[in-house]
Chains A and B, each alone.
Chain A
Amino acid sequence: MISQAAKESFERIVFQAARTRLTMNPAHACEVERAAGHEPVGRGTSAQVHVLTIVSIGFRIVLMLQFADDEATRSYYAGQTANRALPEAALEIGNLCCGAINQQLVEHFPDLGMSTPYTLSSDCMGYLDELDPVHLAAYDVTIEAAARLRVTLCVCASEPIDFAAQVADVHESAGELELF
């Protein structure tokens, strides 16, 4: 149902989106590593998972972000702007990350639609297999050797998926005004 090229493409796209959208400053160091499973990050993980979906005619992508519930992560994402709570900041960070994935995918699948971000209990992570995904991958992200989160990508398909994405620099046009 999903080709190896498509799996590798999804991985390249997620890596790129994580590095460009999960950092608060493009100059910040961002390490992305493939995780062994899709269980929570570990002790200190938030009880919530922030979820977005990208839907096309042939497949549905569920992107889940679990932020570590520790001071370093809170300080990195929420501490830099006027006492924002981490869950509130996490929703918009997730939205930007999913948007970057969507931007890359729309080059191959022009019929995509994206959800607004929503929050679920992280207990849901134990039931992802119930969605019968054709591709399930998790990545541990560490920023500035301090802030941590896990990004999980779950792809469910109703028809074969085969594409090869060469990741473009999503920073190129983001933030620029395109006048009609």
Chain B
Amino acid sequence: MAKILVVDDSSTVRDEVAGFLRKNGLDVDTAIDGKDGLAKMKTSPGVRLIVSDVNMPNMDGLTMVEKIRGELSNSAVNVIMLTTESSPAMKERGKAAGVKGWIVKPFKGEAVLETFRKLAG
């Protein structure tokens, strides 16, 4: 089954997002920051969709995506940023790194579930 990786330093958000996706039959793994997310991408080739926060300690979400595209040469995995950030500059950096979409928190699962299914399929 295609896997979704949820990356957020907030356990509240990880539990909320991963719990919602699992409840809807999706296979989900979690990571606590960008560094952890990058490490999991090195060992989990089955991940098809990453849902990641931007502001996190150790490594932010956009740096993680840039490293996945660059160091891991993985251009296939879809990435959605789930963040409180909404600045045009951040979004532009995301676009340049190959981010597929942007959600400003709070997370409203029902609104994005079908798109997540398609991107993870």
Do A and B come together as binding partners?
yes
Contacts of B106 in A (CB 8 A): 21, 96, 174-175
B104 touching A180 by the CB < 8 A rule?
no
Residue A169, interface by CB 8 Å: no
Chain B's closest residue to A104 (CB) is B86
Interface size class of A (residues with CB under 8 A): 20 to 34
Select which of B15, B84, B103 is within 8 A of A98 by beta carbon: B84
User: Smallest CB–CB gap between A179 and chain B, Å?
Assistant: 4
Residue B75, interface by CB 8 Å: no
Residue A114, interface by CB 8 Å: yes
User: Smallest CB–CB gap between A122 and chain B, Å?
Assistant: 21
A92 touching B10 by the CB < 8 A rule?
yes
- Interface-lining segment among A28-36, A39-47, A105-113, A146-154: A105-113
B100 touching A95 by the CB < 8 A rule?
no
Chain B's closest residue to A101 (CB) is B84
CA distance A92 to B14 in the complex (A): 11
CA distance A95 to B106 in the complex (A): 10
B57 touching A116 by the CB < 8 A rule?
yes
A177 touching B88 by the CB < 8 A rule?
no
Residue A129, interface by CB 8 Å: no
Residues of B at the A interface (CB closer than 8 Å) are: 9-13, 15-16, 55-57, 80, 83-89, 91, 94-95, 99-108, 111-112, 115
